[in-house]
């Protein structure tokens, strides 16, 4: 009898799948989602728009009108092309696949977005993680040393970083770009709506930089649309490994419609930025808790006991992310998504049950 162990790669057998917790009946504050739904009138118009989609036809592989609208709406430099992905995850996978020469490596700060490392492993790229400083600030010198030693194919810089919320200094990023003359530097701006800072206008200023974004954190996680902007020489090559028809017709139609209503999503992001400030202030006032600066729609918090904090919150029907085992620097840390005012109040009330240190 043939088994998966007979056929599959041993490293795949040894891996665990990407964990997604069951959030049924819980206040879901574990995945950095926008908690606001679309206004009822806009949702109705979107439904009417989607009703006209031809579900019997394959989607356009490179929807020119949608890409042109996206470039205008997001102010992508004219000199850049855009590649669409089924979320940022697929774009990361495309780059890993395209760069998977024998001995090729990937360098990124850690702790960071887990898919940089996972996609590297899937493609047989060696992943080199460079630790952040103890306070989660960027150790640019260490990263540059790793780039000089390993000459990686890809260097990932999340701007801001997940799960720490760190927004790296622009001067440090410029130093990394200069040092990575034999690498492609991928600036991941998944949380740009909350950072309000961006490298996108400069995407055409360097011959070794692409900027990656997603509409997930803007409030459209369900449609799974990521995009990458860079010089045509890069985009053309990565497009060759893009699965055909990778962006389905409903996603294309939803994005096309909602790009005309960015003001609604921008207003929601502004509410979450204000909630982030208030939430950070409330949690920092609780005994034994350290709130780290965040430019995302989440807070990294060090608590006396991360497992106890997670279980206490779960008992109060609040689901957060226990990241304490992801990296040694994250010991006793939990990541809290910024929710609505009511959701945040319930989360704070649950944290107060932990009592004094």
Render pLDDT for 280-323 as a digit per residue (tens, 0 to 9).
999 999 999 999 999 999 999 999 999 999 999 999 999 999 99
Percent of the chain with pLDDT over 70: 99
Are both 4-40+263-352 and 57-261 of the same fold?
no
Q: Which CATH class is domain 57-261?
A: alpha beta
For domain 4-40+263-352, the question of CATH label 3.90.1150.10 is answered with yes
Per-residue pLDDT, 15: 84
Average pLDDT, stretch 94-117? Answer: 97
Per-residue pLDDT, 58: 96
User: In 3D, which of 145, 207, 153, 201 has the Cα closest to residue 175?
Assistant: 145
Q: What is the largest CA-CA distance in the chain?
A: 60
Residue with tokens 């996108």: 200
The domain ranges of the chain are: 4-40+263-352, 57-261
pLDDT at 356 over 70: no
CA distance 280 to 355: 18
- Comparing 41-50, 218-227, 243-252, which segment has the lowest mean pLDDT? 218-227
Per-residue pLDDT, 217: 84
How far from 277 is each of 25, 81, 194, 262, 291, CA to CA, in Å?
Answer: 27, 36, 11, 23, 11
Q: Confidence band (pLDDT; 50, 70, 90) for 263?
A: very high
Average pLDDT, stretch 223-248? Answer: 97
Percent of the chain with pLDDT over 90: 92
The answer to whether 163 and 331 have CB atoms below 8 angstroms apart is no
How far from 54 is each of 47, 58, 70, 247, 336, CA to CA, in Å?
Answer: 14, 8, 21, 14, 40
């Amino acid at each position: 009898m043939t088994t998966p162990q007979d056929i599959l790669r041993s490293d795949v057998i040894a891996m665990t799948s990407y964990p997604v917790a069951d959030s049924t009946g819980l206040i879901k504050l574990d995945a950095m989602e926008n908690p606001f739904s679309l206004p009822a009138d806009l949702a109705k118009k979107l439904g009417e728009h989607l009703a006209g989609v031809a579900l019997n036809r394959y989607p356009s592989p490179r929807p020119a009108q949608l890409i042109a609208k996206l470039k205008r709406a997001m102010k992508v430099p004219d000199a850049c092309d855009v590649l669409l992905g089924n979320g940022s995850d697929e774009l990361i996978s495309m780059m890993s696949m395209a760069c998977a020469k024998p001995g090729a490596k990937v360098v990124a700060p850690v702790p960071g977005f887990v898919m940089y490392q996972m996609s590297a492993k899937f493609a047989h790229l060696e992943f080199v993680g460079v630790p952040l400083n103890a306070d989660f600030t960027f150790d640019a010198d260490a990263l540059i040393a790793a780039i000089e030693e390993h000459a990686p194919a890809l260097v990932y810089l999340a701007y801001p970083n997940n799960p720490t919320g760190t927004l790296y200094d622009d001067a440090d990023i410029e130093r990394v770009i200069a040092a990575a003359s034999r690498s492609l530097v991928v600036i991941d701006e998944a949380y740009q709506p909350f950072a309000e800072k961006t490298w996108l206008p400069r995407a055409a200023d360097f011959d070794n930089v692409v900027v990656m974004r997603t509409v997930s954190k803007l409030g459209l996680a369900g449609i799974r649309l990521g995009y990458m902007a860079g010089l045509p020489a890069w985009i053309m090559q990565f497009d060759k490994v893009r699965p055909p028809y990778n962006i389905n017709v409903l996603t294309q139609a939803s994005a096309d419609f909602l790009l005309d209503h960015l003001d609604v999503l921008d207003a929601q992001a502004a509410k979450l930025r204000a909630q982030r400030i208030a939430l950070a202030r409330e949690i920092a006032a609780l005994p034994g808790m350290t709130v780290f600066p965040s430019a995302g729609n989440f807070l990294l918090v060090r608590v006396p006991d991360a497992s106890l904090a997670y279980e206490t919150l779960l008992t109060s029907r609040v689901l957060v992310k226990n990241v304490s085992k992801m990296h040694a620097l994250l010991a006793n840390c939990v990541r809290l998504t910024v929710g609505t005012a009511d959701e945040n109040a319930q989360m704070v009330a649950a944290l107060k049950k932990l009592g004094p240190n």
